[in-house]
Structure 1
Amino acid sequence: MAHSHDSTALDLPLPARRHQTLALVLVRRLAGHGLHDARATMLALDAGGTEFRRLLVLARALVVDLARTSRRRILLAPCCAAGMTRDEGLLMAMIGGGGLDVHGVLTDDAGCAIAMTTAHALGDELERLATRNDWRR
């Protein structure tokens, strides 16, 4: 069933912060190329250094949780796209700490907040890495 939010248009600009863009590209790569994508692993290694596993595991867990719990298809742009889909904007809002309202719109299932918990954990890890890597300019 098509919804009014099933647009593949890149309606939104890319995130302004480096750690947010990292999250978006990680999710795009893992969802599009598989959970064991080597480029996603290298991105996590570059950002996290010796602590890259936590970032990579949380990103993988988010992709799996969304795939298992979403009642609708979540539209992602290709990795190199110069903008974000509406769904990606909702995903970034959820990683940034968005609540059940954002989760409900993204997955059509506000009652099952498993993906929201994982998104918040990923957001916390990205904030920690941004502070550690001095990406806060």
Structure 2
Amino acid sequence: MAETTTLAAVLPHMLPACPHARIALFAIRRMGAHGLADARATHTLFTMFGQDFRRPLVLMRALMADLASHASGQIAIAPCCCARMTVAEAALITILAQLEIAPQKARFLMVDLLGIRHVDGVLASAAAVGAAFADEGRPISY
């Protein structure tokens, strides 16, 4: 008997209610699918942060580069238009949202996401992204 894959199995998580987390997710999806220099991701962060867009943009690019270079396998991302999240996306948004308040939880999630034991550098990149959003009055929550 053939097993069918449902949408809920592939994309088990709802989008975050926080608009700042949704913007971060959009940037992650665009950069993950179209490269670090994606114009739509840049425009979205420019629109959200105004003249202070450079810090969140550069740090998001650095995080995406760190994730790509350290992951032991593929990190599943959904298309930008998807109204649900993959397990990996939910883990990444949770990391960004809770790194400051629950660092051990964030570490476990990052270890699981990347499939490696030493994740300090990537966690530092994630902390910098979270701080950049929070410093501009747009903290990521999930």
- Count of aligned residue pairs for this structure pair: 128
1:29 offset after TM fit, Å?
A: 0.3
1:102 offset after TM fit, Å?
A: 1.0
1:73: which partner in 2? 74
Deviations 1:38-87 (A, max 9, x none): 11111010111111011110111111000011111100000111010000
Unpaired runs of 5+ residues, structure 1, are 1-6
Alignment of 1:27-46 (within 5 A): 27-46=28-47
1:4: which partner in 2? none
> 1:129 & 1:21 partners in 2: Cα distance?
16
1:3: which partner in 2? none
Alignment of 1:74-93 (within 5 A): 74-93=75-94
- 2:80 is paired with a residue whose SS is coil
1:24 offset after TM fit, Å?
A: 0.4
Q: Which has the larger radius of gyration?
A: 2
Alignment of 1:1-137 (within 5 A): 9-96=10-97, 97=99, 98-131=105-138
> 1:8 & 1:72 partners in 2: Cα distance?
19
2:5: which partner in 1? none
Q: Does the CA contact (< 8 Å) of 2:91 and 2:113 recur in 1? A: yes
**Identical positions, percent:** 34
Q: Does the CA contact (< 8 Å) of 2:67 and 2:114 recur in 1? A: yes
Name the amino acid aligned to 1:106. L
Q: Does the CA contact (< 8 Å) of 1:19 and 1:130 recur in 2? A: no
Name the amino acid aligned to 2:33. G
Q: Does the CA contact (< 8 Å) of 2:96 and 2:127 recur in 1? A: yes
Q: Does the CA contact (< 8 Å) of 1:11 and 1:83 recur in 2? A: yes
Question: Taking structure 1 as reference, are residues 72 and 38 closer, same or farther at Cα in structure 2, changes over 3 Å only?
Answer: same
Q: Which runs of 4+ in 1 moved over 3 A?
A: none
Unpaired runs of 5+ residues, structure 2, are 1-7, 100-104
- TM-score when scaled to structure 2? 0.83
